[in-house]
């Protein structure tokens, strides 16, 4: 035990991320570029260590959500191309130029503002055009009704001085959902994208990097990989279907039993008294709470893994602690490690109990929780 593992900590296996990148690559057509999505602190795994591991092992590109995340990587010495997936104010174009950051370009008015700012700064801003083929989020609207108008707008944007349109992309809305309806929708989105690419090519506009597949697309539609894939959660090794590729989870959330108490039957546990012991009970206190990322909505629902098996969590989860029932696990005691999620306690199952997805629980692991890199 050291001071970082006295309370609650996250073990991050960068070798698993590298393994996952290799396994994903092997499932795709040779030559497909690999963009690692490291937004939101690499889904909680730590953006800088994750980016370093990806860069050292042959990733082609990185993506983040915003300028601050891109600058964090540059400050740490990451030299791979970085794509910002969100909107950056035109006033920050000089920073994008200085740090050689690629910016998503999602509408014509912003294109004009970026062009003016890049010209004023005497630089050329590298952009990837974002098309909206049915996600209904950012991007030039490229459904059938708007295709011609948007194709013309994209062509005008690409012709502006101070901009270099290296790439063009789209995002799938339901590529990770089962069923024929989701498959139809995904195929329609891809068809809309290729129709726009064809219309632009007919005007002589071609892009070096065309990309559309995040996790769902990469896993279920490898034929849509085009020039580059853009997986996030898949890279970190979560999700049931991910087992198909033999991927390995990147993170485990661990805590250490801080105290063990004995209660009579009929004792109310924690805020609100939502759990009452039904028998004489041996209760452990673990120093992990919602401020660490263990959502309060999991109160009385989750189990944590101990060296002798699963222990049910009892009563409301507090900000910094919660209680686990050790009555049936007499060998588990103060100082023992428990696993909230990891190799034994499945993150997907925990997410389902919380009414959410693995992404949200990973992002929730708070800065207070030290990351230990193995
Ligand atoms: C977050 C994001 C990704 C990664 O999504 P996953 O489902 O984690 O693979 C890819 N592309 C865009 C545009 C995103 O916003």
Q: pLDDT tens across 50-71, in order?
A: 999 999 999 999 999 999 999 9
In a domain, 24, yes or no: no
CATH number at residue 338: 2.40.37.10
202 and 119 share a domain? Answer: yes
What's the gap in Å between 214 CA and the centre of ligand 1?
A: 5
Reading the block at residue 328, the tokens are 């049936």
In a domain, 367, yes or no: yes
178 and 133 share a domain? Answer: yes
Tokens 């050329």, located at residue: 124
212 and 308 share a domain? Answer: no
* Mutual angle of helices 147-158 and 108-121, in 10-degree steps: 0
205 and 312 share a domain? Answer: no
Domain total for the chain?
Answer: 2
In a domain, 16, yes or no: no
The string of pLDDT tens digits covering residues 10-51 is 999 999 999 999 999 999 999 999 999 999 999 999 999 999
198 and 68 share a domain? Answer: yes
Decide whether any atom of ligand 1 lies within 6 Å of the 229 Cβ: no
Residues 322 and 295 sit within 8 Å (Cβ to Cβ): no
Decide whether any atom of ligand 1 lies within 6 Å of the 215 Cβ: yes
In a domain, 118, yes or no: yes
211 and 161 share a domain? Answer: yes
In total, the chain counts a number of residues equal to 374
Tokens 């049910």, located at residue: 312
- Number of other CB atoms surrounding residue 208 within 10 Å: 13
Percent with pLDDT over 90 in the chain:
97
* pLDDT-flagged residues of the chain (< 50): none
Decide whether any atom of ligand 1 lies within 6 Å of the 233 Cβ: yes
Residues 67 and 101 sit within 8 Å (Cβ to Cβ): yes
Closest among 23, 14, 28, 22 to 244, alpha carbons compared: 23
In a domain, 130, yes or no: yes
Q: Which long-range contacts (CB under 8 A, 24 or more apart) does 79-83 make?
A: 79/55, 80/51, 80/54, 80/55, 81/126, 83/35, 83/128, 83/167
The string of pLDDT tens digits covering residues 201-239 is 999 999 999 999 999 999 999 999 999 999 999 999 986
Residues 24 and 40 sit within 8 Å (Cβ to Cβ): no
> Whose alpha carbon is nearest atom 15 of ligand 1?
85
Q: For position 1, what pLDDT does the model report? A: 55
- Tell me which of 214, 233, 247 to substitute to probe ligand 1's pocket, judged by most ligand atoms within 8 Å of the beta carbon: 214
In a domain, 103, yes or no: yes
65 and 140 share a domain? Answer: yes
Q: Could you tell me whether strands 8-12 and 251-256 are parallel, antiparallel, or unpaired per DSSP bridges?
A: antiparallel
Q: Could you tell me whether strands 82-84 and 125-132 are parallel, antiparallel, or unpaired per DSSP bridges?
A: unpaired
Q: For position 115, what pLDDT does the model report? A: 98
How many Å separate Cα 34 from the centre of its chain? Answer: 15
224 and 332 share a domain? Answer: no
Q: For position 367, what pLDDT does the model report? A: 97
Decide whether any atom of ligand 1 lies within 6 Å of the 214 Cβ: yes
93 and 202 share a domain? Answer: yes
In a domain, 245, yes or no: no
Reading the block at residue 129, the tokens are 């055009």
277 and 178 share a domain? Answer: no
Q: For position 2, what pLDDT does the model report? A: 78
Q: For position 359, what pLDDT does the model report? A: 97
Query: Could you say which of 236, 269, 303 is where a domain stops?
Result: 236
Residues 17 and 233 sit within 8 Å (Cβ to Cβ): no
What's the gap in Å between 343 CA and the centre of ligand 1?
A: 24
**Spatial separation of the C-alpha atoms in residues 60 and 370, rounded to whole Å:** 29
272 and 206 share a domain? Answer: no
Query: Could you say which of 204, 236, 268 is where a domain stops?
Result: 236
Query: Could you say which of 203, 236, 269 is where a domain stops?
Result: 236
CATH number at residue 96: 3.20.20.10
Decide whether any atom of ligand 1 lies within 6 Å of the 210 Cβ: no
Domain that holds residue 294: 251-373
In a domain, 10, yes or no: no
232 and 323 share a domain? Answer: no
Reading the block at residue 96, the tokens are 């994008």
Reading the block at residue 239, the tokens are 């999700």
């Amino acid at each position: 035990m050291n001071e970082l593992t006295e309370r609650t900590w996250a073990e991050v296996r960068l070798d698993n991320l590298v393994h996952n990148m290799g396994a994903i690559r092997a499932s795709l057509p040779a030559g497909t570029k690999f963009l690692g999505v490291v937004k939101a602190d690499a889904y909680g795994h730590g953006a800088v260590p994750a980016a370093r591991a990806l860069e050292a092992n042959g990733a082609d590109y990185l993506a983040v959500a915003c300028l601050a995340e891109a600058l964090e990587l540059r400050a740490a010495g990451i030299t791979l191309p970085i794509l910002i997936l969100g909107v950056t104010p035109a006033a920050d174009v000089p920073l994008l130029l200085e740090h050689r950051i690629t910016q998503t370009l999602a509408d014509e008015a912003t294109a004009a503002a970026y062009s003016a700012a890049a010209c004023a700064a005497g630089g050329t801003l590298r952009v990837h055009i974002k098309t909206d083929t049915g996600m209904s989020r950012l991007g030039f609207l490229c459904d059938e009704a708007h295709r011609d108008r948007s194709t013309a707008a994209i062509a005008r944007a690409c012709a502006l001085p101070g901009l270099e349109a290296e790439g063009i992309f789209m995002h799938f809305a339901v590529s990770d959902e089962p069923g024929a309806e989701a498959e139809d929708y995904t195929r329609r989105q891809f068809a809309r994208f290729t129709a726009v690419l064809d219309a632009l090519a007919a005007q002589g506009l071609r892009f070096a990097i065309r990309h559309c597949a995040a996790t769902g697309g990469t896993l279920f539609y490898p034929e849509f990989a085009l020039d580059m894939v853009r997986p996030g959660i898949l890279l970190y090794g979560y999700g049931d279907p991910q087992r198909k590729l033999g991927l390995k989870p990147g993170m485990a959330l661990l805590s250490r039993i801080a105290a063990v108490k004995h209660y009579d039957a009929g004792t109310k546990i924690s805020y609100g008294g939502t759990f009452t012991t039904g028998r004489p009970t041996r209760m452990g206190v673990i120093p992990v709470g919602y401020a660490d990322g263990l959502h309060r909505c999991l109160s009385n629902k989750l189990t944590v893994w101990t060296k002798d098996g699963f222990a049910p969590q009892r009563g409301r989860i507090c900000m910094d602690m919660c209680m686990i029932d050790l009555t049936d696990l007499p060998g588990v005691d103060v100082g023992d490690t428990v696993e909230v999620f990891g190799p034994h306690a499945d993150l997907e199952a925990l997410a389902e109990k919380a009414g959410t997805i693995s992404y949200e629980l990973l992002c929730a692991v708070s800065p207070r929780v030290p990351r230990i890199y193995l």
